[in-house]
Amino acid sequence: MINIYNESSLHKTLKNFYSAQEGFREEVSEDGHIYDILSPDGSIIEIQTKNLSKLLPKIQDALSKGRRCKIVYPLVIQKEIILLKKDGTQISARKSPKKNSIYDLFSELTGIYPVLLDRNFSLEVLFITAQEIRTQTDCPVQSKNKKRRFKANWIKTNKKLKEIHETKIFYSKEDYIALLPQNLNEDFTVKDLEKCLKEIKGLPKSAAKNSSLIVWVLVRMNLITQTGTKGKARIYKINRQKSEIEQYGFFK
């Protein structure tokens, strides 16, 4: 039996959207897996709202069978928090002060970097505003993922899509390298990258905190290489043999 009972409204909405083409089927059991969407030509689309690493075995197996694979990942750059009573009556609605950016993607890429540059793989990132639905509880409770430092009188019960602002598809080496800031020197350290990210206008300050993750992922994708050290800091350089970035420009 296909388990869709814990499927969020966000996941379901996107799955319905991407499967709304003739011949596309949802929740298809093949190859020992259940694919979110299977196209007429055998390509698969997986909708994943978090924990991309969980998809790695399935994607690797599908790629080994010659299937084209796409992961659709909604990146929440803005969030609205809706608090409900147990009967569904709305108590309050507010915007979360936290804002994310494309650089928050790298915390997810650490779990799927082995497939990112496979010629039959693509990653489609949706920049969205989401509504997080919280429901009051009678007493303080722990969160479902057990990560709360302190118990609270509410629990997350759903996540809904409000708006898609932009879509970006990652397929080639250049798509990932282009995320490095334009003002980054040819030879750079993690601290240099952090400084450059802080200087990009309109970027949330939290983006710079991902500098170590960005370097970690790009090194394992062989897109940047350590060339030496400066004190205790490692020096990196774009691997020009792996990228034609000068033809494509940088992320601004």
Looking at the structure, tell me whether residues 220 and 106 fall in a common domain: no
Are 162 and 131 contacting, i.e. CB atoms less than 8 angstroms apart? yes
Task: Give the separation between CA 190 and CA 221, rounded to whole angstroms.
Answer: 17
* Local structure of 131: helix, strand or coil: strand
* Local structure of 227: helix, strand or coil: strand
Q: In terms of pLDDT, which residue wins out, 252 or 84?
A: 84
This prediction's pTM: 0.89
Range of the domain at 199: 175-246
Domain assignment present for 251? no
The CA-atom distances, in angstroms, between 167 and each of 72, 74, 234 are 10, 9, 34
Length in residues, the chain: 252
Last residue of some domain: 170, 187, 212? 170
* Residue 114: pLDDT over 80: yes
* Neighbour tally for 40: CB within 10 Å: 10
Looking at the structure, tell me whether residues 136 and 184 fall in a common domain: no
pLDDT digits (tens, 9 = 90+) for 138-172: 898 888 877 788 888 999 999 999 999 999 999 99
Strands 44-47 and 33-38 come out as: antiparallel
- List Cβ neighbours of 199 (8 Å cut-off, separation of 6 or more): 181, 183
pLDDT digits (tens, 9 = 90+) for 7-38: 799 999 999 999 999 999 999 999 999 999 99
Any idea what DSSP says for residue 181?
Answer: B
Which of 176, 181, 180, 178 is closest to 220 using CA atoms? 176
User: For 89, what's the count of Cα atoms within 13 Å in the CB-facing half-sphere?
Assistant: 3
| CATH code of residue 239 | 1.10.10.10
pLDDT at 6: 57
Number of structural domains in the chain: 2
Binned at pLDDT 50, 70 and 90, residue 102 comes out as: very high
